[in-house]
Each structure stands twice: as C-alpha cells, then as structure tokens.
Chain A
Amino acid sequence: MRHHVYLSPGMFGFGRLGSYNYFVHVERELRARFSAAGHELEAHVIEDLPTASVRRRSTRLAELIAQTSGGDLIHLVGHSTGGLDARLVASPATCSIPLASLGWLPRLRSVTTMNTPHFGTPLASFFATSNGQRMLAALSVLTVTGLAIGAQPLAAASVILGFMRGSDKVLPFKLRMLDRSVTSVVGLVDDARSPEVRAFLTAIEEDQGSMLQLSPESMDLVGAGFADRPGVVYQSTASMAPTPKPQRWLETFGHPWRAVSLALFFGLHRITATLDPRYPCAAMRDAAPWSGDANEAHLQRVLAASPPLQANDGVVPIRSQLWGRLVWAGIGDHLDVLGHYLDDRDPETVAPELRHRDWLTSGSNFTHASFTALIDAITTGMLDAAANS
C-alpha cells in the first residue's frame, strides 16, 4: 500500500536549506518502518516559513497535498507550530482554505502532532515583542548553523544569552551586538548556502505572524474553533526537559559551548515556564490539568508523576502538547524529538547525513533508544489508522 506523509516544521524549523533536510531523521526512520512493514511511503517536507501565519501555512500545505498525493493514503505530521497547520487543514470547521485544495481529505488517515503548542506557549508572547523578534531570528540562525553544518558558534550564543539576561538599560547596545552576532554566524555558512540562510532570516524577521497566534491568549480562542475530523486518528508526542539544577552546570565543566548552550536553553525554559492562571496552556477539567484517563495514565507511567503546568520542553509547556491519543511521552527537549540530539558515536564511523546533531544542551539525555521508541509509536499509530479505515 502506498502512503504519503507531509512533514510540517515549526518554531526554529526550516524545512530544507540547501541539501539539509530538517526532518531528515524522522523521514528516514518512518520510511524504514513503513518499508519493513511492506508499505511504501513517500515523504514531503513543507518548505514554508516556520514563523508565518498558521492559516497561510495550512493553505500552502493543502495545496501541496492536492498536487502531490495522487490517490494514495495521507498522513500529516507536524512538529511544533506545524501540528497546528495539520489540525487546521484537517478541521471540518476550516473555511479559510479553498475547497479545490481539499479534495484529498477523504484519504486523510492520521494527524500526528509532535510537541505542538495546542494551548499556546508563553515563549510566543515573548517572541512577539519587538526585541523578542530579533531574539527569535538569532536563535533560528543558531539552529540552522548548528543542525545544518554542525557549527557551535560560542561567541554568538554568548551574546544571545547576554541579551536574555540583565537590565534593559544597555538594551540598544545589546541589540547591536545581537545583530552583529547573527551576521557573524551566517558568515559560518559556506558560500553556496549563505544566500539561502540570509533569505530565510530576512523572511523570519519580516513575517512572524504565528508568534502572535501561538500566544496562550490567542490559542484560547483557536481551541474553541478547531474541530477534529471524524474518522481521522489524532495522535501526539509530548516531552519535557529537566528543570535547571546546579548539577547540570557541573556536567558542563570543561565544555564552554555546552555551558553557554545550557544557559541559553534554561533561559528559554524559564520563559516558557511562566504561568498565567487565566491562560494555563493546558486542557483543564475543573481546576486541575486533564488530558483524559489514558493520557494521564501514560504521563504518570513514563514521567513517574503527573507533570505540572510549568513543565516544558524549552519551547512549549508539556501540557500544551497533548492532543488526541498520546502515543509517546518522555524527557526530551523541543528538537530532540526530531532526532536532533547529542550523537555520541564516533563521527568517523557514521556517514555525515546519518549523524545526529544537538540543538542546544538541555541536559535531557535523550538517546537513540528514546528516538526509536518515539518513531515506533508514531508509525504504529499511522499504520493502524490506515488498516482500520
């Protein structure tokens, strides 16, 4: 049986840049499992701006599916904001997408959301400020260089870290430093790819529509309007990173990059842990967070306790990530779940395209075994959805 999977990137994501595919590990692992189960899988990566409006991105997604899916079965996989694109395009309530682009909906079998802010994230509110926008661009370029070329620009990361800390009296100076650092990091990218990276950054600075849309206040309204499509399986993955502890800093002793990277991650983690009781970034039943019996039992089983509202993966609160059936949960940061974790294999023994590169040091100790279990769970859900249709 032939399937198409559409992979939609989110915050800090970039689809493809040059030869580097942001979903390279997810795509490879999904294809391998489908193939081993006797199915053919064709993967498509949405090459749209990760920070653009969810409505605009979902329209683009619908058009791409209409053009490329033939008559085969369809699965949507969205990471971070990408999960909202998938939900919007599948929702029977959507009226923003031309019907001509939605003829494939009867062949849609599953929607998988990975660490998606279904109930918003406080970090989006931070990035929606004028200074936050520059931070988002700086962090995005750090992600691009880190994942695509494996560079660890220590100086630039230190500047970004300084921007997140301290008093605002020196803000103009910090902003200049930030912009200079971004330029220097882009300079690390080889000549062939730097125009693409520059264009990507310019686009991010110009269109950050989704940041406003992902704020807890906005998602409060969105949640009331997005309905799930009957007959489609909705499944999710959710993760949280360890909370900052002195022990983590000791583990970075002798590794300057890891120390700065960890500090940067914890800065994001702290902002994301901001709690507004009126907009708690979670499904609530009465006064306690509640995601259904099965999901709560799953969380308790793998995390040893029901995670609090503040627990997050550095970008999205874990309780905001729960939608449909929770198929995998664990300790991991926002990009670990895509296979962007610390690869401790000897680089000489691994082909460059198969290497895993860490995003930021989060102390999650996410491993290949964690990634394998996550992809196994997603694949099982997708194949079951196809078999039961």
Chain B
Amino acid sequence: MSVVPPEAAVSPTEDPVPPEVRAVIELFGNQLAKISFPDVDAGSLRRQADELRAEAKAVAHARAALDAAVATFATRMEMLTETAARAVAYARIYGDGHPDRQALVTAIAALSEPRPAMVTSAPAGKRRGRPPRQSAELFDATASAPAYQDPA
C-alpha cells in the first residue's frame, strides 16, 4: 500500500513547510515509519505539518483581505482628499461672497490645502514592539502590497 503524503497536493514553492523539514517527514514516513521516539514519530510530524499548512492558508486569506482593505482604504483616502480639496474650494467661493462673515472668512483662510497622503498597509495606527517573525515564503508579498500613488 502506497502512502500519499498530504503535502503532495501542494507545490513545493507554495508549501510553507521548509524543504529540510519535508525531508525529515519523508524519512519518518518511509524508512523510519515503524520507529517512534518520545513525542516524535511519522504521525506527529505529519500532523504538525498539516497544522502549519492550515495556518498558512489562514494567513494567505487574511493577507488577501488586508490587501483588498488597503486598496479600498487608498481609494477612499483619494476620494476624501479630492472631496476635501473641493470642499475648501467651495468654502473659499462661499466666503468670497460673504465678506461680512469675518469669523467664517478667517476660518476658511486658516484651512490648509488637502494633499494626497501616503497609504501604508497599517492604516489603523503604529504597531508597538518588535515585528513578529515572518516566513520568507509566506510574506514575500509584503513588498508588493499596493501603496498609494500620488496621481500628480
């Protein structure tokens, strides 16, 4: 009876299990299949590898959702900046027509021109502490996360 390893369905480049670990699992799956050490045997190794792959999938989904959210965030930021720029323009035009409303005119004059802002992948605020360790295979996409481009 041939044993089909669960990682066979995953291409090596997408598999989060490092190649050296895969080699260990393969050894325990074949030549050491009937040998069991304390807490270590073919089954425990395969189970942990499967758990890692499941987590990798969850991370990939979360990353896709984050990428989508960042893209939406960038779009919304662009829209808000454009609307705010137009709002300032409207306010100035309105203020020009109402020079008697001195407080309003002063407040409008104090407004600064809304400019497009850079959008990063962490819009909610600054992360504290050391950055978590990341698997190179899993987090290569970090560099390609869409960043806001100034339309000008």
Contact = CB atoms under 8 A, between A and B. Distances in A.
B55 interface: no
Interface of B, helix, strand, loop or mixed by DSSP: helix
B97 A32 contact: no
A28 B86 contact: no
A192 interface: no
Nearest to A354: B94
A202 interface: no
Interface string A20-56: 0000000010011101100000000000000000000
Nearest to B85: A36
A28 B82 CA distance: 16
B117 interface: no
Interface in B60-109: 82, 85-86, 88-90, 92-94, 97
Contacts of A354: 94
A31 B89 CA distance: 8
B97 A35 contact: no
Among B82, B88, B89, B94, chain A packs the most CB atoms within 10 A around the CB of B89
A353 interface: yes
Contacts, number: 23
Nearest to A353: B97
- Which bracket fits the contact residues of B? 10 to 19
Given A31-B89, A32-B89, A351 B82 contact: no
Interface in A173-187: none
Contacts of A33: 86, 89
A33 B88 CA distance: 10
Contacts of B88: 35-36
Interface residues of A, number: 9
B93 A32 contact: yes
Nearest to A372: B86
A31 B88 CA distance: 11
A378 to B, nearest CB: 15
Nearest to B91: A32
Interface string A67-101: 00000000000000000000000000000000000
B89 A36 contact: yes
Contacts of A353: 97
A354 B86 CA distance: 15
B52 to A, nearest CB: 51
A36 B93 contact: no
A36 B82 CA distance: 7
A313 to B, nearest CB: 27
A259 to B, nearest CB: 36
B85 to A, nearest CB: 4
Contacts of B92: 35
Nearest to A34: B89
A35 B94 contact: no
Nearest to A35: B89
A90 to B, nearest CB: 28
A366 to B, nearest CB: 21
A345 to B, nearest CB: 15
B137 to A, nearest CB: 45
B31 to A, nearest CB: 68
B131 to A, nearest CB: 38
A255 to B, nearest CB: 31
Nearest to A351: B94
Contacts of B94: 351, 354
A92 to B, nearest CB: 35
A364 B29 CA distance: 75
A384 to B, nearest CB: 14
Among A35, A36, A351, A354, chain B packs the most CB atoms within 10 A around the CB of A36
7 contacts: A31-B93, A32-B90, A33-B86, A35-B92, A35-B93, A36-B85, A36-B86
Interface of A: 28, 31-33, 35-36, 351, 353-354
Which 5 A/B pairs are nearest by Cβ-Cβ distance?
Answer: A35-B89, A32-B89, A36-B85, A36-B86, A36-B89
Given A28-B93, A36-B86, 17 more contacts: A28-B90, A31-B89, A32-B86, A32-B89, A32-B93, A33-B86, A33-B89, A35-B88, A35-B92, A35-B93, A36-B82, A36-B85, A36-B88, A36-B89, A351-B94, A353-B97, A354-B94
